[in-house]
Structures are given as C-alpha cells and as structure tokens.
Structure 1
Amino acid sequence: MTTTDLWHHYGRARAEQDHAVPDSFRWAWDQQSGPGPEALGDLTGKTVADLGAGVARHAAHLTVHHTPGRIDAVDSSPAQHDMATALYASLAPRLRLVQADVTTHLRATPGAYDVLYSVFGAVDFTDPRALLPAAADALRPGGRLVFSTLAHYLSGSPAQPDVTAQEVPAKTPDGESATMLRWVLQEQVWTKALDEAGFTDILIEELPAGDGPRSAATLLVSAQRPTT
C-alpha cells in the first residue's frame, strides 16, 4: 500500500515559476529575518543533510554559496523529490537528492554526517522520540543538529507542554481535505527530548514573529553529538 503524498501541492506554483538558486538562507518562519547559514558553522568540506528538504532550495543555496563536501537533501514526498530534481539535479554530485523517509535514512547511515539541519522540515512532522535518536546516531562525534520550528501554532495556540502532536490541515493530490501530524513543542520539551536522545550543548533561541498575515515566532535550536 502506498502512502498518500500530502506534500503534492506544496511549493508547486513557485517551482513552476522560480527556477533560481536562492541567494539567501533564513531560519525564521517569514524567511525574511533572523540568522542565516552561519548558525550551521563552517561547512567547508563537510557532509551535510537537509532533513525534510522539500524542493531543496535551502540545500541548493548552501551548495552554491558555501563549500560543503556534499549535501544530501532528504525528503519522503515523491512530488517534492520530483520538483527538486527538475530544479537542481544539475548541482550533483555536491547536492544529492534523496527520496526516503528521514528517520529510516538516518538509521541506515550511522556516523555519516557532520551537520544535520531542518528548516520547518522533518523535525516538525516526525515524532522526535524516533527522529532525534536516529539523528544523533547519524552524526559523527562532535557533529551538530540545527533546526527551526514553530514556537507556537499558526493559529496562535501555545506549544505543547509534552511530546504531543496535533493534526493540521493538508490536501491529497486530488485536492481533498486531509490532516497530518505536526509537533509544536515548548522549549523545555525540546531540551528534554534532545537530552534523552544523547545530545549536549543544547541552545534554543526564540526569533520574533514578522509582520506578515501568517507570522509566527520561531525556535532556532542547535545541539551537538558528544565528541566521545
């Protein structure tokens, strides 16, 4: 049985019109403010993965404007993978487009990465009790995980006080209404989940909401796999 691709429509209109490699990389929800790729540290020669990369715009930016050894843009959605391939396949081999469940991919690649990151990607839509331990195992000693996630729901409702997901609206490829799970957690919940997964040096910064109609505050989270 195949799983319905609830990401079929996401970003499609932009992908049809905008084929450029983005000239900027931002962590905030509005994609206009806050820190940029410097939060990832020096990527020169590093092996990196974008978790829930979508059409791989952030990964393409890092590939072109920084000097990683390789970036794996991992996404489970066939539609997102196809759009990413149409847009950025020419950036191979430094950009590798991987269609796979993120947790499964990480479990299959122990110690493969120096840096993992997610921009409102797989970390938001995967149970952290499964994803975070897999991420820790996939990092080399001293490797870093950096991700941005919502500080509260887009409706304005507060983040969850424990590791609980909420159903959010989605659409099937046929345009029918559906739901998917999204984890929007309080800072201390992320800290505890990362600690239990084996991460250290956990830092969380709240980035303020922008001025747009669907603005939201962002949590920018970084953590390290211990060196020993």
Structure 2
Amino acid sequence: MNAAGETTWFNWTQYPDHGPGAEVLNITPGANVLDLGCGKGGNLAHLATLGARPVGVDISMPQIKSAEARWPNSKLELHQTEATRFLTESEEQFDAVFSVFGAAWFTDPALLLPAVRRRLRPGGVFAFSQRPPVEGCYGCQASYITKSENEDPLVVKRWDYEPDQWKDLLWANGFTAASARILPAPPGPRKIGTLLVRAQG
C-alpha cells in the first residue's frame, strides 16, 4: 500500500507518493491503454482498476513474469518484445500510450514517435516521464552497466532533451497540444526532478 492506503496507484516520478497520477492520461472506462516498458506492471494494474484494458510491453522476460505473478487478477495483457516492434506489428489503436522511465527514454525518438502516432486514436494521449537531461548533454547518450567481473558491461542508450526540444519533436511528428515540464523533487536531500512530457494524437 502507498501512503494513502491504496493497493494500486499511478506514479510518474522516481519518488513514492509524489506528483500527478493517472489523470494525465485522461482515460475513461473501456479505454485501450498501452505501457511501453511496463516493468512489474504496477501502473497498468492501477489503470485496470479504473476500467481500462491494460496492455503492457517489456523487452525483459523476468519483468513480464514478475508482473504476471504480482497482479494475477488484473487481466494484464503482457507482451515480451521491443516497443517499436510491437507498435509496428500491431494493428490495434490505443486511447493512451505511456512510458514511465521506460521505452520512451531508451528508444530513438525518430523511430518511436511516428510508431506511437500511428497506433494512437485521434485525440488520444501519449505521455512519458524520465530524468531531466544533464545540461549540455542532449540527444543519444550512452551508459555502461556492469553485469559481472567476467562479462563486458552492458551498453544502454538513452535519449535526453530539454522540455522545449521534446515539444518540437512531438509537433514535428504530428502530435498536438504538446507540453513538457520538469516536476521538482519532493522536499528532502534529493534534488533531481522528473521530466514529464504529454501530447495528443
């Protein structure tokens, strides 16, 4: 349970019980909702309680298995695949597509944004969150993640832009009502906020 005593909730930020919730997606009961990089499925499970049809994509099978085990009664539709592959191969239309520190951060927007736009119903919402960029470090950035002493580190690419740059990219790919802002961190020693980007199809 979270601080409010709820068993499911929606969180865009890296801090518990902080920031806006599912209202960002503007969904109604019966909406088709797609999570790109669903992880253990907590946000999808919350959307299921709001009457949405929750569809999740994650490249990690252990994450998919964790989501299935954690939310056995939430009727999550989970797919172990890469986000742009799912968007390209699927014929479904979604009322909302979102990503919380997920595939929208780790996928080239030149590939991801047009693919999302094709799957989004007119007026549907695309929203994502991630850490804000480091000043002066924009576009594709690479990180090395150590796996073990006997293996080469894993190279992970991410795409970082300032809020206005994200808005320009969304407008250029046919989205409307694009907005982007940095949510400040809650009071305390940590100061890094959360970038929240939202647009409509």
Same fold (TM > 0.5): yes
Higher relative contact order (CA 8 A, sep 6+): 1
May I ask how many residue pairs the two structures share in their alignment? Answer: 195
* 2:125 aligned residue (119, 144, 149): 144
Is 1:56–2:37 an aligned residue pair? no
Segment of structure 1 superposing worse, 215-224 or 173-182: 173-182
Q: Find the counterpart in structure 1 of residue 62 from structure 2.
A: 79
RMSD: 2.2
Deviation at 1:56, TM superposition (A): 0.9
* 2:142 aligned residue (142, 153, 167): 167
Is 1:191–2:191 an aligned residue pair? no
Q: Find the counterpart in structure 1 of residue 183 from structure 2.
A: 207
Q: Find the counterpart in structure 2 of residue 11 from structure 1.
A: none
1:90-169 counterparts in 2 under 5 A? 90-92=73-75, 95-110=76-91, 112-152=93-133, 157-158=134-135, 160-161=137-138, 164-169=139-144
Q: Does the aligned pair in 1 maintain the 2:184–2:191 contact within 8 Å?
A: no
> In structure 2, do the counterparts of structure 1 residues 208 and 180 end up closer, same or farther at CA, with 3 Å as the change threshold?
same
> In structure 2, do the counterparts of structure 1 residues 107 and 23 end up closer, same or farther at CA, with 3 Å as the change threshold?
same
Encode CA deviations 1:65-114: one digit per residue, 9 max, x unaligned: x111x11011111221121122224322xx21111111111112245111
Unaligned stretches of 5+ in structure 2? Answer: 1-5
Deviation at 1:179, TM superposition (A): 2.7
TM-score, structure 1 normalization: 0.77
Deviation at 1:212, TM superposition (A): 5.6
| Divergent runs of 4+, >4 A | 173-176, 211-215
CA distance in 2, matches of 1:171, 1:83: 23
TM-score, structure 2 normalization: 0.87
Deviation at 1:41, TM superposition (A): 1.0
Q: Does the aligned pair in 2 maintain the 1:54–1:75 contact within 8 Å?
A: yes
Q: Does the aligned pair in 1 maintain the 2:179–2:197 contact within 8 Å?
A: yes
Encode CA deviations 1:135-159: one digit per residue, 9 max, x unaligned: 000111121101112213xxxx326
Tell me the secondary structure at the aligned position of residue 62 of structure 2: helix
Question: Structure 1 vs Structure 2: percent identity of aligned residues?
Answer: 36
